Structure 1
Amino acid sequence: MKKSFKGAFIYDGPFDFDNVDFVGFPSTSVNYKGYDFTPIPFYIIGGANRYTNVVQNLKFYPEPKVKLLYEDTNWADSPWSTSLMDLDGSLTGEPNTIVVPDHELNNHSSCVRKQQWGALLCNYQMGVIVMLSTDVGSIPFSVHRNDGAKSFTSPNYAQGILHRKFGVILDKGFEYELRFPNNTAPEELYGLVFQADLGDVSPVLKLTGMGDQCELQGRKKVTEISQLRQSTETAYYSVGKDLYVKVKANQRHFNIDSDNAPQGISSNLNIKCN
């Protein structure tokens, strides 16, 4: 077996692979003293993972036992913020397939489970919401989708290190609720950023406990939730104790130069709380 292999880390992203060959990754398991050392072409190691990575025209010589593995992470929120788009099917066998970690917040009726990869193979587009907080690495929160899916079940997990973002499925009718333990958000959360394809608009986001104290500075306020759901621009709605927002990726990220990977980002959505 070769002493070293050149694969791809799924890290901050986005990468845009076209006509890349993966050579020598074994088609059978490599075990040593009871441990699995099988080299894998694509491997997640965590990181910011704020954009969907993109691949096409990949070739494998030979066909690897496992092409991709979502396993280790160093960001607590990686299981629901990481994605890779297979444009032509050269990775998954089906074109326009998004590969996401096997987590309920990523699941959708279009998804097929790929157990060996720890992944779901799905047919949707994805964006990432990043929370701007006084602690730049982490803010305690949980995400709950309107069909019952959630980011995690343990309240202690909300305190995880490197935990301040989550993925959202676009154009499938989902809405997302953010819950903050002990009502800490007005003191800690001061903004949101949406990262997706240029021009994409996020689903409706419900920020619990922030409606009667907070507003989006300089943004359009609508008077009905139905108006917010129909909005194609950044806007917000407030009722009782809850704040509802939608965010548009209205500008190009200055640091991304890619033909295929997403490069849209919203201007900072500043949240002002009394």
Structure 2
Amino acid sequence: MSSLQNIDRLSLNQITTDPWSLKGAVEGSVRAEVPWIAIWRHKIEEIGLKESKKIIQDAGIKVSSICRGGMFPAATKLERDQRIEDNRRAIDEAAELGAETLVLVCGPAPDKDLVAAREMVAEGIDKIVPYAKERGVKLGIEPLHPMYAAERSVIVSLAHANDLAEKYSPNEVGVIVDVFHVWWDPDLYRQISRAEGRILGYHVSDWLVPTPDLLMGRGMMGDGVIDLRPIRLAVEKAGYAGPIEVEIFNQKIWDMPGDDVLALMKERYLQYV
């Protein structure tokens, strides 16, 4: 059977069913026969790393990634050092839970100086690469849509993420391709090809029109304007054969019963992704 016709690579990114606890999300995924889950750190924190690991191991589910590390820029050296320590904790969590990849959302500027903030990002990644390598965790730089530059990340294009990642081995640092953040980019397919061998994650959702909210306005696949299948084929041509995460921030979806969300997610994944 073609990989386009089954859900062997489908992963529930936990934020898609945010009202569920880690235990609820794992149990829901098992019921829906979704084989992968991407875990958010605040869900680990609610119950602790030891209990999180037990839930995952008992269920036999695979962890596609941990979200998130990063957030490197800060106004003072003390704050930047504290963020490096937090990234090391995130790496430990990924290693303990069997996740190959820690997703890096790199962080906004603490002031108006974007150049300095981007330098802080590069320095921050450089500081945590050896620690991640020791623990067998790869760092996936996720570029965000430019509209997030002021609040979440000064890394706003796949080209820039590639620039940062190419300083390292593909076994150390790569990129995350999230369609919500990159679908608009006229250079997208060239940059996907450039990232061959270092794509560490692929995230899907849809861009709704009109966009109801900059953060909470992602749609279920098929409800928006992103031509999803060509992007997936390009990512696969560039060597990515790993899990495909459905990552949706949307209050209407969060208000649905989680089992219904998973059923719809599976249906739309097969139809559009």
TM-score, length of structure 1 as denominator length: 0.29
TM-score, length of structure 2 as denominator length: 0.29
Higher relative contact order (CA 8 A, sep 6+): 2
Q: Which has the larger radius of gyration?
A: 1
